């Protein structure tokens, strides 16, 4: 996403009940910046993404 779109950061929301996706984003380095009644709001910097990408790919046993 960062490479394709040329972004320096990404802001996104995750439903509070979606614990698996929330955990994955936190492992990627996302930081919680707020919340609504339904969602947690996050920001992920390109720097944090690049720093954690290799570890997450290995942990999930994916090949790129």
Taking only the tens place, the pLDDT of each residue in 2-46 is 888 989 999 999 999 999 999 989 988 999 999 999 999 999 999
CA separation for the pair 24, 62 (Å, rounded): 14
All structural domains of the chain with their residue ranges? 2-59
Query: Which pLDDT score is estimated for 59?
Result: 77
CA dihedral 42, 48, 49, 52 (to 10 degrees): -120
In this structure, what DSSP letter does residue 47 have? H
Is this model's pTM higher than 0.85 or not? no
CA separation for the pair 22, 28 (Å, rounded): 10
Is a pLDDT exceeding 80 seen at residue 1? no
**CATH number of the 2-59 domain:** 3.30.1370
Longest CA–CA span in the chain (Å) reads: 37
């Amino acid at each position: 996403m960062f490479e394709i779109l040329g972004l320096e950061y990404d802001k996104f929301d995750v439903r509070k009940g979606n614990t698996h996706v929330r955990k994955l984003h936190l492992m990627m380095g996302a930081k919680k910046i707020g919340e609504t009644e339904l969602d947690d709001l996050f920001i992920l910097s390109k720097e944090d993404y690049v720093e954690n990408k290799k570890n997450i790919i290995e942990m999930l046993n994916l090949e790129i």
